[in-house]
Copies of this chain bind each other. A is one copy, B any other.
Amino acid sequence: MNNKRIYLNAFVMNTPGHMSAGLWTHPDNDASGYRKSEYWIKLARLLEKGRFDAVFLADVLGTYDVYRGSRDPAVRRGAQAPVNDPSYIVPLMSAVTNHLGFGLTASVTHEHPYTFARRMTTLDHLTNGRVGWNIVTSYLNSAAVNIGLDKQIGHDERYDIAQEYLEVCYKLWEESWEEDAVVADKETGIYANPEKVHDIHHEGKYYKVPGAHLSEPSPQRTPVLFQAGASPRGREFASKNAELVFINAPSIEAGRETVKRLRADFEKNGRKPEDIKILTMLTPIIGETEESAHQKLEEFKKHISHEGAFALFGGWTGIDLSEFDDDDVLTYVENDSMRSVIEVLTRVDPDKQWTIKELRDFIGIGGISAYVVGSPEQVADELEQWMEEAGVDGFNLAHTTSPGTFKEFIEHVVPILQERGRVPKEYEGATLRDNLFGQGDRLPEDHPGKSTRKVRF
């Protein structure tokens, strides 16, 4: 066993109930305080104390409405509804920390790249270079109609739009302002040398942006690029652009295949393996002993909202499980998402015939992803097993209770992982990118955001 470092993200969302539907009702869960600054400030301090690399802020601009053809179940059960804007949490959490990074989810279909690029640069300045962008290309139909689109754009076209959106951002972030454009010299009264600030002259299929970036360069320029992409087109997009890829593997076996496929994609796109980290989602359930951890899991299960779990499942897969009975066995149907869900469950337990009821209990804790249950030692062992056998670089840790899950993990598991040389005791870089890759604050030279000069100066 080598001592490959484990990267740790906390997976949260600006909503009462994130991945574990109904768990906001647990007495130890403070997540229904999500609206207030104090909740996030406290969490930020905890995560930095616990040597987490970043907090990953999920988002969805809409309410899940597939289950029973209605948004009511999601609203009633606080299942990712209501949901506030994730970006304003970043300056709050960064003001009380020095190293913790932030992976902010934002969709390329919700805002023009010219204004979005300024938002991210502003955040990168305010956080001293600790911002990441989780690039989302898809969105719900319920979101699309509310922002004036008649319906969702086709899946593949979304990636074409996303690629051009990134091009615009890269030009604004990387090429518009030269490194020494800003002098801010009080003697000469020169703030910036205009001849070093360039119009980007972008004219593409989807966007026209003739001008220069409004903001001066921030510590990282381009935020660290996060992406999750499962479809072939999504994987291609991630392989080109992402620096941190986030997967959702329900078992080590499933994770291994995904990681293998992703690493091959990266290589095909000429990316260096050390420039990309793959994190898998995992929900840790930690007890003093294995037995008490399982008791805790049973206790958590009592708080699952079935309706909420089905609402989330409907949103993720497009499948309305209200058409089935509790004891119905899951069977293949003509739906890609359903097929992949069943494949996933089969990997969790290949000999099992899953019923709707069992599916519900499974997804009730952490959604369609793995959870690890055990004593701190056991959880640490299992994380190491994932590292070795699935080949991931770390974990996007979802919670059953917040800050409870993170607190337990930090108090009991992180020290073990540090003892084993898996998690550094100190932060190693100033910016998020430097902390993750140890090669400076900026995109590597061979990254597509950097490698070609696109601006006609």
Which residues of A pack against B, CB within 8 Å? 14, 16-17, 22, 24-27, 32, 35-37, 41, 61-63, 70-73, 75-78, 81-85, 87-92, 94-96, 110-112, 114-115, 118-119, 121-123, 125-128, 142, 145-148, 177, 182, 184, 186-187, 189-195, 197, 207-216, 218, 303, 305
Residues of B with C-beta under 8 A to A119 = 85, 87-88
Q: Are the C-beta atoms of A71 and B145 separated by less than 8 Å?
A: no
Question: Bound complex: CA of A37 vs CA of B119, how far in Å?
Answer: 15
Residue of B nearest to A25 (CB): B186
Residue of B nearest to A120 (CB): B85
Q: Are the C-beta atoms of A189 and B22 separated by less than 8 Å?
A: yes
Q: Which of B76, B84, B128, B184 is A125 in contact with, Cβ under 8 Å?
A: B84
Q: Are the C-beta atoms of A82 and B146 separated by less than 8 Å?
A: no
Q: Are the C-beta atoms of B126 and A88 separated by less than 8 Å?
A: yes
Q: Are the C-beta atoms of B77 and A210 separated by less than 8 Å?
A: no
Per assembly, the copies of the chain total 2
Residues of B with C-beta under 8 A to A187 = 25
Q: Are the C-beta atoms of B146 and A210 separated by less than 8 Å?
A: yes
Q: Are the C-beta atoms of A75 and B197 separated by less than 8 Å?
A: yes
Residue of B nearest to A196 (CB): B75
Q: Are the C-beta atoms of B147 and A75 separated by less than 8 Å?
A: no
Question: Bound complex: CA of A83 vs CA of B211, how far in Å?
Answer: 14
Q: Are the C-beta atoms of B212 and A63 separated by less than 8 Å?
A: yes
Q: Are the C-beta atoms of A88 and B122 separated by less than 8 Å?
A: yes
Q: Are the C-beta atoms of B71 and A189 separated by less than 8 Å?
A: no
Q: Are the C-beta atoms of A71 and B212 separated by less than 8 Å?
A: yes
Q: Which of B77, B110, B122 is A191 in contact with, Cβ under 8 Å?
A: B77
Q: Given A84-B121, A146-B114, A211-B145, decide whether A95 and B92 contact each other with a Cβ distance below 8 A.
A: yes
Question: Bound complex: CA of A91 vs CA of B62, how far in Å?
Answer: 24
Q: Given A191-B77, A193-B76, A194-B76, decide whether A214 and B63 contact each other with a Cβ distance below 8 A.
A: yes
Question: Bound complex: CA of A113 vs CA of B210, how far in Å?
Answer: 25
Question: Can you list 13 contacts pairing A with B, beta carbon distance less than 8 Å?
Answer: A16-B191, A27-B186, A61-B115, A76-B191, A81-B214, A84-B215, A88-B91, A88-B122, A92-B126, A95-B96, A110-B112, A145-B210, A189-B303
Q: Are the C-beta atoms of A148 and B118 separated by less than 8 Å?
A: no
- Smallest CB–CB gap between A172 and chain B, Å? 10
Q: Are the C-beta atoms of B78 and A209 separated by less than 8 Å?
A: no
Question: Bound complex: CA of A146 vs CA of B35, how far in Å?
Answer: 34
Q: Which of B35, B41, B194 is A71 in contact with, Cβ under 8 Å?
A: B194
Q: Which of B83, B123, B184, B193 is A16 in contact with, Cβ under 8 Å?
A: B184
